[in-house]
Structure 1
Amino acid sequence: MKNLQKYFYLMLGASLLMTSCDKVENPYEQVATIDIDTTLYNGTWSDYLENEYPVFSTNTNTDVNVLIEDYTGHKCNNCPTAADEAHEIYGNNPGRVFVASIHSGPGSLSFQQAYPNSSKYYTDHTNPEGIAYGEEFESGFGFFGNPQGTVNRSKGNGEMFSLYGVWESRTDNILNTNDLKVNIQSEFNYYDYANGGYLHVEVEKKTNEAIDMKTVVYVIQDSLVDWQLMPDNSDNEFYVHRDKHLGSIDNNPFGITTFDASAANGEKKIIDYSYVLPQELDKDNMHFLIYTYDVDTYEILQVIKQTIE
């Protein structure tokens, strides 16, 4: 293979297994690969590569999709209104708009620390990656607290973050501009006996612009019921939290280097991940959001959804 590049990262955390037997070798295209747990497959790794590793067809997509990152909190009484706005935009643009509800904010603490004696708000919805985003975007990006959000992290009035009242117009602007700089397609091979499997992501550069790009995979829980402070300051025990951000598939908040600025239009990379689902979660109530972004500006260039089936 020409210009074979590999980027090796340890997969950390309770939901990921760290033992790696072999490095993935894909005979088709350039590869950026993580150390993955090949033992999740009940067979030899050579059999997996021969029989189950995907061969991606030509990606004919021409649409730029949108990721709304809704920065939220369950003790934030304005957050349900923002969440409703994000969900409405998502519903009006099926297959084109996706949502990640990120529990974070400037100076965020674990809710277990903040409310140790609470009989209601004891659930810690935060995770290290979400906290990392809050800390990264505290200054210079317009993020001053919840509820705020980003729309592909594109800037309006010089700031990445905005209140929910402008999310729809920012979304429409991106959907109508359709300046596709990168394409993504993916496949997840799930095995019941392992309660996990392998996510394979193909990223293709679609521009001659000199852009350093990284790719991130969010793990999203579709919905859960838990306490939420409402706009009238009442406590809702049965509030449905949607599209909850659980972190990144590899516990790496800012992702894997995919293309450097010298990469040519049409160049492709494949990134391979292994993932074991948390025991308390149902695969039918989870999905991945895969996005590639501009390293210099943080702007999300493309995003797709991958279900677990």
Structure 2
Amino acid sequence: MKKLHQYIFFIVGASFIFASCDKVENPYEKVATINVDTNLYQGLWSDYLANEYPVFTQNSNTGVNVLIEDYTGHTCITCPNAADIAHDIHTNNPERVFIASIHTGPGTLSFQAADANASKYYTDHTNPEGIAYGDEFKSGFGFFGNPQGTVNRKKGNAEMFSQSGVWQSRADNILSANVLKVNLQSVFNYYPTANGGYLHVEVEKKTSEAIDMNTVVYVIQDSLVDWQKMPDNSDNEFYVHRDKHLGSIDNNPFGIPTFNAGDAAGTKKIIDYSYVLPQDLDIANMHFLIYVYDKETYEILHVIKQKIED
């Protein structure tokens, strides 16, 4: 997947130095910046800052959203049933439950194996970030094989991973608790001439708890038709793979440090990313999932969806 993984980390109240030919005063707040590809914008960057850089209003959200990470594989015969369960949970809560189908395993890629010369399972659905999760969680988290998944990576029975039969109850518990520790807002400005643009994410700490938090942005393909081994062991050429995890926007599986334990409740920060979309994918068939997680426990504290193009 072709992408630019440069980003800006905006910290409210800090001094502003823009990494381009000119130093430009941000019209909305003083911020510090790291590299971003300003060339995706066909014009003066000062015009972008003055006219297209978003102004985030007060975030009125009060509920914790849910990310189900469905660890799957195209030759796993029990994976289609798990995918259907995840999709049904999303369908019943379309604005609050989101899915990332991650093609990886706990230290092995047997169900994800692809053969470019084969007549069926020739597509490599894996990516380095997904493989990194398989390696990270292969021991000590209850991840023993596909299909398994996480629901906000929140532990149940002392384990983060579970089989699909308990995903609904775990999601319901999170949705009903509504203990919001961090809030998120986002805007994506897309420019067709560059086939890319800028993702702006506001992150607000809502708790006084001493938690180190990181922010991650998944790139998700809504659906694609490709081979899948089915529960009856047949080969389905026209299987619809939903919510396929394509990796992270910045190639970083574990994200950007956003808050440290000493940050006070009410602290707001902005992270900006530049991104070029893959040439072979339809922008109408893609979206971002943006989440913040507890760096120590890996628990996802909140997640939102951002469309590529409205």
Matching of residue 305 in structure 1 with residue 293 in structure 2: no
Assess, with a 3 A threshold, how the Cα gap between structure 1 residues 252 and 32 changes in structure 2: closer, same or farther. farther
User: Alpha-carbon deviation of 1:151?
Assistant: 0.1
**Which residue in the other structure is 2:263 paired with?**
263
Query: Are residues 1:21 and 2:20 paired?
Result: yes
Question: Using the alignment, how far apart are the partners of 2:264 and 2:24 within structure 1?
Answer: 24
**Structural mapping, 1:114-193, within 5 Å:** 115-193=115-193
Whole-Å Cα distance in 2 between the matches of residues 179 and 17 of structure 1?
A: 32
**Following the alignment from structure 2 to structure 1, what is the Cα–Cα distance between the partners of residues 114 and 43?**
47
Which residue does the alignment assign to 1:8?
Answer: none
Percent identity (aligned): 77
Q: Could you say if the C-alpha distance between residues 293 and 131 of structure 1 is closer, same or farther in structure 2, counting changes exceeding 3 Å?
A: same
Q: In 2, are the aligned partners of 1:29 and 1:270 still within 8 Å (CA)?
A: no
- CA shift in 2, pair 1:32/1:100, >3 Å: farther
Q: Is contact 2:26–2:50 with CA below 8 Å preserved after alignment?
A: no
Counterparts of 1:212 and 1:77, CA distance in 2: 39
Q: Is the 8 A contact 1:104 1:134 kept in 2?
A: yes
Q: Is the CA contact 2:214–2:295 (under 8 Å) kept in the aligned structure 1?
A: yes
Partner SS state of residue 36, structure 2? coil
Please give the alpha-carbon distance, in whole angstroms, between the structure 1 residues aligned to 2:202 and 2:224. 31
Partner of 2:230: 230
Structure 1 position 16, deviation (Å): 1.9
Structure 2 equivalent of residue 6 of structure 1: none
Question: Structure 1's 236 and 263: CA in aligned 2 closer, same or farther, altered over 3 A?
Answer: same
Read off the aligned partner of 2:44 and give its amino acid letter: T
Q: 1:99 to 1:110 in 2, by over 3 A?
A: same
Q: Return the alpha-carbon distance in structure 1 between the equivalents of residues 5 and 211 of structure 2.
A: 33
Counterparts in 2 of 1:132 and 1:81: CA distance versus 1, 3 Å: same
For residue 193 of structure 1, give the secondary structure of its aligned residue in structure 2: coil
- Tell me by how many angstroms 1:15 deviates: 2.2
Determine if the alignment matches structure 1 residue 85 to structure 2 residue 73: no
- 2:27, 2:50 within 8 Å by CA — same for their partners in 1? no
Q: Does the aligned pair in 1 maintain the 2:70–2:83 contact within 8 Å?
A: yes
Q: Which TM-score applies when normalising by structure 1?
A: 0.91
Residue 119 of structure 1 and its aligned partner are, at CA, apart by 1.1
Give the count of matched residue pairs. Answer: 297
Q: What's the TM-score, normalizing by structure 2?
A: 0.91
State the match for 1:95 in structure 2: 95
Conserved in 2, the CA contact under 8 Å of 1:149 and 1:163?
A: yes
Residue 196, structure 1, aligned to residue 196, structure 2: yes
CA distance in 2, matches of 1:32, 1:152: 31
Q: Distance in 2 between matches of 1:32 and 1:139?
A: 38
Structure 1: stretches of 5+ with no match in the other structure: 1-12
Paired position in structure 2 for 1:107 = 107
For 1:215 and 1:29, the matched residues in 2 are separated by 21
- Residues 32, 270 of structure 1: 8 Å contact kept: no
Cα distance between partner residues in 2 of 1:82 and 1:112? 16
